[in-house]
A and B are shown apart, each in its own frame.
Chain A
Amino acid sequence: MKNIMRPTRRSILRAGAASAAVLAMPAYLRAQSQSVKIGILQPVTGALAQDGEFGRMGAEMAIKEINDSGGLKGLGGAKLEMVFGDARSNPEAGTQEVEKMQADGVAAIVGGFASPICLAATQAAARYDLPYIVDVGVSDPIVQRGLKNTFRFAPGFGIVTGFALDNLVKLNDGAGKPAKTVVLVHEDGLFGSGLAKLMQAELPKRGFEILETIAHPTPARDMSNVALRIRSLNPDLVIPSSYYGEFVLLARTMQQQRIRPKGVYAVLNGAASNYRFVKEFTEASNGIMDCNHWYDPRNPKALELKKQVEAQGKVFAYNVPLNYSCVKLLADAINRAGSADRPKIIEALNTSTFKDHIMPYSETKFVNGQNMGAAPVNTQVQGNDIKVIFPDTFADAKPQFPVTG
Chain B
Amino acid sequence: MYSPAIIAEAVVNGLMAGAVYALIALGLTLVYGVLHIINFAHGALLTAAMFAVWVVYEAFGLDPYLAILPLTPLFFGLGYAVQRFVIGPASHGNDSNILLVTLGLSIAIENALLAGFRSDTRTLNTDYGFQVVEFGPLLLSKPRLIGFGAAILVTVLLWLLLSRTDTGKAIRAVAKEKFGASLVGIDVAHVYAVTFGLGCACLAVAACLLMPTFYVNPRIGQAFVLVAFTIVVLGGMGSIPGALLGGLFIGVVESLCGLFLGDSLGQIGIFLIFILVLLVRPTGMFGAKA
Contact = CB atoms under 8 A, between A and B. Distances in A.
Chains A and B touch each other in the complex, with CB atoms below 8 Å apart: yes
Interface of A: 44-47, 49-50, 52-53, 188, 213-217, 219-226, 228-229, 231-232, 244-245, 248-249, 252-253, 255-258, 276, 280-281, 283-284, 315
A120 to B, nearest CB: 21
A145 to B, nearest CB: 28
B223 A225 contact: no
A256 B263 contact: no
Nearest to B214: A249
Interface string B219-235: 11011100100000000
B263 A216 contact: yes
17 contacts: A50-B118, A50-B217, A215-B262, A217-B267, A219-B220, A219-B222, A219-B223, A220-B223, A220-B263, A222-B255, A222-B258, A244-B121, A245-B220, A248-B215, A249-B213, A253-B141, A281-B125
Contact of A49 (B13, B114, B214): B114
B3 to A, nearest CB: 7
Given A49-B218, A217-B263, A219-B222, A232 B139 contact: no
Nearest to B259: A225
A84 to B, nearest CB: 16
Contact of B219 (A47, A249, A256): A47
A232 B13 contact: no
Given A53-B119, A220-B223, 4 more contacts: A188-B264, A225-B10, A225-B263, A257-B132
Of listed B10, B130, B131, B262, residue having the most chain A CB within 10 A: B262
Contacts of B223: 219-221
Interface residues of B, number: 44
B259 A229 contact: yes
Contacts, number: 108
Contacts of B2: 229, 232
B82 to A, nearest CB: 23
A216 B125 contact: no
B119 A44 contact: yes
B3 A232 contact: yes
B254 to A, nearest CB: 7
Nearest to A232: B6
A226 B118 contact: no
A52 B218 CA distance: 14
Given A220-B263, A225-B263, A228-B9, A245 B139 contact: no
Interface string B129-170: 111100000010100100000000000000000000000000
B258 A225 contact: yes
B97 interface: no
Contact of B119 (A50, A224, A255, A257): A50
Contacts of B218: 49
Contact of A221 (B121, B141, B217, B224): B224
B131 to A, nearest CB: 8
A53 B118 contact: yes
B62 interface: no
Of listed A224, A244, A245, A257, residue having the most chain B CB within 10 A: A224
A280 B120 CA distance: 13
A244 B119 CA distance: 12
Nearest to B222: A219
Contacts of B3: 232
Contacts of A281: 123, 125
B130 A252 contact: yes
A143 B131 CA distance: 48
Interface string B103-135: 000000001001000111101010001111000
